[in-house]
Structure 1
Amino acid sequence: MSRPKQNDIPVHKKRNVQKEHNSRFYQFPYPVIFEKIIMQRLEVILQPRYTYKRKGVYVNISQFSDITGLSPHTLRYYENIGLLAPISRNESGHRSYSKKDHEWVAFIIRLKDTGMPLKQIMHYAELRAEGTETSAERKILLERHSNMLEMKIAQEVEHLEALKKKIKYYNNLM
């Protein structure tokens, strides 16, 4: 069975063929080359992909998505529910995110990763939008979350110790 010619492939399937072709480049036959390329990729990942050249320069939603790791859909959702302040727009009407937006989204991600429910993050965002007079309330909210996180970590440590104890038991049997 022969492979279809490029012109015979429907337009919506041509992208997949191109992706398959490009993915061959990432198959590494030699471990040394593989290690070198992995290290290069790590350097790229650890460096910011897009920089804010000066204070007033913005990045579009696609670039901001790459920076934060959140999908454009999630970023739009956060803006719609009020978690993000209305994002400024460029001349063509596209969203333009600033370094300040990045810092706020990074904090939102940290709160989510540590288990804070979106409802509480929303409450924190509302307090933040009200200004410095709500600093005490925001501090209390973060202290409560911190205490909850400490209890959760203590519980996880207990679970880890129990697992290690069981592993030690099995090691003694063998």
Structure 2
Amino acid sequence: MESHLSIDEVVRRTGLSAHTLRYYERIGLIGPVARASGGQRRYAASDMAWIEFLLRLRTTHMPIGKMQTFAALRGAGDATVPGRRQMLQEHLTEVLADIDAMKLAAEALQAKIEHYRSVEQSLASELFSEEGHADEHQPVEHGSIEHQPIPKPLRTRAGKAAGDRRQGR
């Protein structure tokens, strides 16, 4: 990595916008960034490592206020190492609980998907047997699919979807 990167280079490498990088600096998530003679920001390797860690915290859904607290502790030096470790340990506990909850939710989704596959297969089997082997004079049961009303498709005109109206399009 080059010794100092411009804000455009950091944008390309991190996926953050220049506005977000300046905002992070303004609110204290990123310490003051060195400047070139013309005033342009120049990010050092240590800045990039810190930004990458902030991105990991953001991925774990750490609130920005907690990120600011962590950044302030970091800026205060080694005396805050126990506090930083404790903060990360508590956050990790929350992240692991969220992962467990997401696993349960994913299992429920998978079960529902399997249920719908089974229903689709049953419907396809019924349709095939009715089309291929149905006797026109055979009585139809009232609980069968033939007596279910067929829902009408939802129709929207272009540009008239609910989201478009709310956004004034």
Same fold (TM over 0.5): yes
TM-score, normalization by structure 1 = 0.66
Match of 1:98 among 44, 54, 64: 44
The residue aligned with 1:134 is 80
Opposite residue 139 of structure 1, the aligned amino acid is R
The residue aligned with 1:78 is 24
SS of residue paired to 1:92: coil
| Distance (whole Å) between structure 1 residues aligned to residue 14 and residue 116 of structure 2 | 43
Alignment of 1:48-127 (within 5 A): 51-52=1-2, 57-127=3-73
Give the count of matched residue pairs.
120
Match of 1:154 among 100, 108, 120: 100
Question: Which runs of at least 4 in structure 1 moved beyond 6 Å after TM superposition?
Answer: none
The residue aligned with 1:5 is none
SS of residue paired to 1:97: strand
The percentage of counterpart residues that share the same residue type is 36
SS of residue paired to 2:35: coil
Opposite residue 79 of structure 2, the aligned amino acid is E
Opposite residue 74 of structure 1, the aligned amino acid is T
RMSD between superposed Cα atoms in Å: 1.0
Point out the structure with the larger helix share: 1
Q: Structure 2: where are the runs of 5+ without partners? A: 122-169
The residue aligned with 2:128 is none
SS of residue paired to 1:115: coil
Q: Structure 1: where are the runs of 5+ without partners? A: 1-50
Alignment of 1:14-53 (within 5 A): 51-52=1-2
| Distance (whole Å) between structure 2 residues aligned to residue 62 and residue 142 of structure 1 | 30
